[in-house]
Structure 1
Amino acid sequence: MLLKILIGLSLAVLCESQLIVQTQYGPIRGAQLRSGLDKVYYSFQRIPFMQPPVGRLRFRDAEIPNNWTEPLDCTQQGPRFPQVDFTFEPTNASFSGDLDSMHINVYTNNLNPQQKYPVMVFIHGGGFRTGSGLTDIYGPDYFVERNVILVTFNYRLYAFGFLSLDDPELNIPGNAGFKDQVLALKWIKDNIENFGGDSNNITIFGQSSGGGCSHYHILSPLSKDLFQRSIIMSGSAFNPMYGAIPRRNWAYRLAKQLNDSISENEKEILEFLEQAEPEAIFNGVNAIMTPYERNVERLLNAFGPVIEPYDNGNAFMLSHPEILAENSWGNDVDIMIGGTSFENAQLVNLFLQLPFMVEANSNFTSFVPYQLDHLSISERQHFGDRLKEMYYGMMNPSPTNFDPTIILTNDFAFWHIIDRVVMQRINSRGTGQTFVYRFDINDANNCFRARQRVDSRWHGHLRAIHMDDLCYLFKPSFVDTSLLAEHSLDLIDHMTSLFTTFGSTGRPVMGSWNSSISLETTLFGYNIRENLTLATFNELPEMSRMKVWREMYRSNSYFLSINVILLLISVIFSILN
Structure 2
Amino acid sequence: MLKFGRLRKLRPLLGARKSNFSQKTNVETKIVELPVGKVKGKHQIGNTGHGFYSFEGIPYGKPPIGKLRFCLPQPAEPWTGKVLDCLKERAVPVQQEDREPDTVTTIGSEDCLYLNVFTKHFDSGKPLPVLVYIHGGGFKTGGATRTKYGPDYLMREDIVYAQFSYRLCVMGFLSMSNAKLGVPGNAGLHDTVLALRWIKQYISHFNGDPENITIMGTSAGAASVHFMMCLPEACGLFHRAIMMSGGMTCPWVHVPNTDTLSCRLANEKGYRGKMTEECVLEFLRSQPAEDLVQNKLFGSRELIFGHLYPFVPTLEHHDGSEGLLKRPFLQLMRDAWAKNVPLLLGGTSFEGLIMYPYSKLNNGHILNLLKEEPTLVLPYDLYRTLSVRELTERAAQLVRFHFGPRQIHTNNIVQLLDLFSYKLFWHGIHRIVLSRLAFAEAPTYLYRFDFDSSQHNLMRINLCGGDIRRGVCHADELGYIFPRELKFRNELNAPECLTINRLVGILTAFAKTGDPNCAETKPEEWKPVTKKTPFHAMNISYDLTFDRLFEEEGLQVWNKLYDNDKRLLYGG
Could you tell me how far 1:452 is from its partner in structure 2?
2.8
Matched, 1:184 2:195: yes
8 Å CA contact retained: 2:403, 2:412: no
8 Å CA contact retained: 1:236, 1:243: no
Secondary structure, counterpart of 1:462 in structure 2: coil
Could you tell me how far 1:427 is from its partner in structure 2?
1.5
Q: Residue 359 of structure 1 corresponds to which residue in structure 2?
A: 368
Matched, 1:512 2:525: yes
Could you tell me how far 1:138 is from its partner in structure 2?
0.8
Secondary structure, counterpart of 1:536 in structure 2: strand
Q: Distance in 1 between matches of 2:39 and 2:489?
A: 30
Name which of 540, 543, 564 aligns with 1:528: 540
After superposing the two structures, state which structure 1 stretch, 484-493 or 98-107, moved more: 484-493
Matched, 1:471 2:457: no
Could you tell me how far 1:287 is from its partner in structure 2?
2.6
Name which of 95, 98, 106 aligns with 1:83: 95
8 Å CA contact retained: 1:374, 1:556: no
Q: Residues 254-286 of structure 1, C-alpha deviation per residue, up to 9 Å, x if partnerless?
A: 112223322121111111111211122112xx2
After superposing the two structures, state which structure 1 stretch, 224-233 or 253-262, moved more: 253-262
Q: Which letter does structure 1 place at the counterpart of 2:535?
A: L
Name which of 207, 222, 238 aligns with 1:211: 222
Name which of 288, 294, 302 aligns with 2:297: 288
Secondary structure, counterpart of 1:359 in structure 2: helix
8 Å CA contact retained: 1:120, 1:149: yes
Q: Which letter does structure 2 place at the counterpart of 1:437?
A: Y
Q: Distance in 1 between matches of 2:431 and 2:28?
A: 52
Could you tell me how far 1:146 is from its partner in structure 2?
1.2
Q: 1:347 to 1:291 in 2, by over 3 A?
A: closer
Q: Residues 401-430 of structure 1, C-alpha deviation per residue, up to 9 Å, x if partnerless?
A: 4332221110111111111110111122x2
Matches within 5 A, 1:201-280: 201-243=212-254, 245-280=256-291
Q: Residues 179-215 of structure 1, C-alpha deviation per residue, up to 9 Å, x if partnerless?
A: 0000000000001110010001111111111111111
Q: Which has the higher contact order (CA 8 A, sep 6+)?
A: 2
Q: 1:516 to 1:454 in 2, by over 3 A?
A: farther
Q: 1:346 to 1:418 in 2, by over 3 A?
A: closer
Q: Which letter does structure 1 place at the counterpart of 2:509?
A: T
Q: Which letter does structure 2 place at the counterpart of 1:207?
A: T
Q: Residues 149-185 of structure 1, C-alpha deviation per residue, up to 9 Å, x if partnerless?
A: 1111100011111111111111211111000000000
Q: Distance in 2 between matches of 1:60 and 1:67?
A: 20
8 Å CA contact retained: 1:237, 1:244: no
Name which of 482, 485, 510 aligns with 1:502: 510
Q: Distance in 1 between matches of 2:206 and 2:416?
A: 48
| Identity of matched residues, % | 30
Q: Residue 129 of structure 1 corresponds to which residue in structure 2?
A: 140
8 Å CA contact retained: 1:37, 1:481: no
Q: Distance in 1 between matches of 2:287 and 2:127?
A: 46
Q: Residue 97 of structure 1 corresponds to which residue in structure 2?
A: 108
Matched, 1:106 2:114: no
Q: Distance in 1 between matches of 2:311 and 2:101?
A: 23
Matched, 1:369 2:382: no
Matched, 1:153 2:139: no
8 Å CA contact retained: 1:62, 1:180: yes
Could you tell me how far 1:142 is from its partner in structure 2?
0.4
Q: Distance in 2 between matches of 1:435 and 1:201?
A: 19
Q: 1:365 to 1:233 in 2, by over 3 A?
A: same
Q: CA RMSD in A?
A: 2.5
Matched, 1:70 2:82: yes
Q: Which letter does structure 2 place at the counterpart of 1:178?
A: L
Q: Residue 21 of structure 2 corresponds to which residue in structure 1?
A: none
After superposing the two structures, state which structure 1 stretch, 378-387 or 141-150, moved more: 378-387
Q: Residue 437 of structure 1 corresponds to which residue in structure 2?
A: 447
Q: 1:168 to 1:30 in 2, by over 3 A?
A: same
Q: Residue 545 of structure 1 corresponds to which residue in structure 2?
A: 554
Q: 1:219 to 1:367 in 2, by over 3 A?
A: farther
Could you tell me how far 1:40 is from its partner in structure 2?
1.6
Q: Residues 301-346 of structure 1, C-alpha deviation per residue, up to 9 Å, x if partnerless?
A: 2211111123433322111111111121122211111111011225
8 Å CA contact retained: 1:84, 1:94: yes
Q: Residue 35 of structure 1 corresponds to which residue in structure 2?
A: 46
Q: Distance in 1 between matches of 2:357 and 2:68?
A: 41
Q: Residue 8 of structure 1 corresponds to which residue in structure 2?
A: none
Q: Residue 330 of structure 2 corresponds to which residue in structure 1?
A: 322
Could you tell me how far 1:36 is from its partner in structure 2?
1.0
Could you tell me how far 1:557 is from its partner in structure 2?
5.5
Provide TM-score, normalisation by structure 2. 0.88
8 Å CA contact retained: 1:383, 1:548: no
Provide TM-score, normalisation by structure 1. 0.87
8 Å CA contact retained: 1:46, 1:77: yes
Matches within 5 A, 1:329-478: 329-348=337-356, 354-355=363-364, 357-362=366-371, 363-372=373-382, 373-428=384-439, 430-443=440-453, 444-455=455-466, 458=468, 461-478=469-486
Q: Residues 202-229 of structure 1, C-alpha deviation per residue, up to 9 Å, x if partnerless?
A: 1111111111111111111111110011
Could you tell me how far 1:108 is from its partner in structure 2?
1.7
Q: Distance in 2 between matches of 1:31 and 1:369?
A: 49
Could you tell me how far 1:244 is from its partner in structure 2?
5.4
After superposing the two structures, state which structure 1 stretch, 370-379 or 435-444, moved more: 370-379
8 Å CA contact retained: 2:306, 2:423: no
Could you tell me how far 1:33 is from its partner in structure 2?
1.4
Could you tell me how far 1:517 is from its partner in structure 2?
2.6
Unaligned runs of 5+ in 2: 1-26
Q: 1:348 to 1:306 in 2, by over 3 A?
A: closer
8 Å CA contact retained: 1:39, 1:145: yes
Q: 1:267 to 1:322 in 2, by over 3 A?
A: same
- Equivalent pairs, count: 535
Q: Residue 5 of structure 1 corresponds to which residue in structure 2?
A: none
Q: Distance in 2 between matches of 1:253 and 1:61?
A: 22
Could you tell me how far 1:117 is from its partner in structure 2?
0.9
After superposing the two structures, state which structure 1 stretch, 127-136 or 259-268, moved more: 259-268
Q: Distance in 2 between matches of 1:345 and 1:172?
A: 36
